[in-house]
Structure 1
Amino acid sequence: MTQENARVGGLSGTSLNAPSEGVLWEVLAGDGEIVQRGQDIVKLMNCGSALVTLSVPDNVYNRLRVGQTAKFRLDGTEALYDGTITRIAGAGAQTIYRNLAVSPSEKHLERYDIALLVPALREDTHLRCTVGQTGRVFFDTRPLDWLRDILN
């Protein structure tokens, strides 16, 4: 019985070689299911980049450009992380979320979609490969930023 348990236990998991660093996000095929060549069987979350998505009203959207810098702050922290706008999409842009881990809410889709690349998030071991964190994004310098810098 012990040998059989060891044999079955050895079949219950395996290493997975993937072209990027990541974690298993979702299993799409069930145990014992017959799968076809080319069929998706798992989804992996890529931990090699840190993408922050957000929605903005049209008056902010109209001032933004791809490549523009921004700052991101996680809720409950004071650290600001540098980011760069990598995608600007119009309202109702649900198709761009097809391959992302978190889908937008209906309220989010009523506004305009922005994506930031924030490299420092992937370099922080506590924040690496996290999903669903909330925070604030700052696109412009604010009038009291100089005072905030002194206080920090």
Structure 2
Amino acid sequence: MKYALRIFGLLAVVFALYVIVGEQLVGSSGDAYVNTRLAEIQSPTDGVAQLALGPLGSRIALSEAIGNIAPRADNSLSFLGPEQQRAIYAADLEANATQPGTEPAAVLERRIEALDRLIEEQRAHLLAGQNTALRSTANGIIWSINAHSGQSVAAGDTIATLADCDAAFIHASIDQRLYNRLKVGDNAQFRFHDGPVLDVTVALLAGTGPRSLIETLAISPTERLLDGYSVLLTSPALNQQGSCPLGRTGRVVFSEGPLSGAGEWFSGLGLR
């Protein structure tokens, strides 16, 4: 019995070493994390922003209303007629106080009040007819806010930037040797640190650039990751309703390791 326990212990150690070494020798990334592309909400016209945005980091749905762009008051040329007439009546009212025989003050005051109402009605009608709605351009997270209510904006100005949760992917950095073995469509696994394992597919071999690609991503890689070769991988599980694990880290395994068969066996039992 004593010898049997020793043999069993020795086999356990050998198997553990086999697993550790085998997992290290398969093609895998040094670092990987969940990333996504950015989507901008831009002003469709010149005007004044009137916003109803949530705070940074809050979720937002595709086409959700976030406010509108109102026309600037100085563009309302239709107000000039009534406003000019009001100014004339106001001047007459002031003159009536110092010069006898001019139009009665009460009549002038009533005319000024009527013009005030007309001007206000015209202004409300113009604003109601020309406000341009602003809506979210993605299902995602509010990543940055570039304007505030009451701010004057021009057509094309960025109002807010969203991290698009429907376009999430795995951003991995690997060495040149492994990079040259891969092709688009290859299957792999993304293993979250202290989390589940996802089946993923190589979608883009980005290599060492272009840098313009990095500028479109929500999370910029560190300088250390930029020293490697970038690979982007997708998985339907990343874009499930309500799932948006941006920034979660892990490791991508591109080849089958010693425990790959065991993983499939556990999956069949519903234990993974």
Q: TM-score range by the shorter chain?
A: 0.7 to 0.9
* Highest RCO, 1 vs 2 (Cα 8 Å, sep ≥ 6): 2
Displacement after TM superposition at 1:67 (Å): 1.2
Q: How many pairs were matched up?
A: 139
Displacement after TM superposition at 1:148 (Å): 4.8
Displacement after TM superposition at 1:60 (Å): 0.9
Taking the aligned partners of 2:156 and 2:51, their CA distance within structure 1 comes to 22
Partner of 2:94: none
Letter in 1 for 2:177: N
What does 1:80-95 align with in structure 2 at a 5 Å threshold? 80-95=197-212
Taking the aligned partners of 2:220 and 2:252, their CA distance within structure 1 comes to 19
Taking the aligned partners of 2:261 and 2:51, their CA distance within structure 1 comes to 56
Partner of 1:63: 181
Taking the aligned partners of 1:62 and 1:143, their CA distance within structure 2 comes to 23
What does 1:106-125 align with in structure 2 at a 5 Å threshold? 106-123=223-240, 125=242
Partner of 2:261: 146
Letter in 1 for 2:160: V
| Long gaps (5+) in structure 1 | 1-10
Partner of 2:216: 99
How does the TM-score come out when normalised to structure 1? 0.78
Letter in 2 for 1:87: L
Q: CA RMSD in A?
A: 2.2
Aligned pair partner of 1:44 in 156, 162, 184:
162
SS of aligned partner of 2:153: coil
Taking the aligned partners of 2:51 and 2:162, their CA distance within structure 1 comes to 18
Verify the 8 A CA contact 1:54 1:113 in the aligned structure 2.
yes
Verify the 8 A CA contact 1:93 1:113 in the aligned structure 2.
no
How does the TM-score come out when normalised to structure 2? 0.46
What does 1:1-80 align with in structure 2 at a 5 Å threshold? 13=52, 15-16=65-66, 17-77=135-195, 79-80=196-197
Taking the aligned partners of 1:106 and 1:29, their CA distance within structure 2 comes to 30
Displacement after TM superposition at 1:18 (Å): 2.9
Letter in 2 for 1:129: C
Verify the 8 A CA contact 1:92 1:110 in the aligned structure 2.
no
Partner of 1:130: 245
Q: Which moved more, 1:23-32 or 1:63-72?
A: 23-32
Verify the 8 A CA contact 1:94 1:104 in the aligned structure 2.
no
Bigger helix share: 2
Larger Rg: 2
Query: How high is the sequence identity, in percent, across the aligned residues?
Result: 32
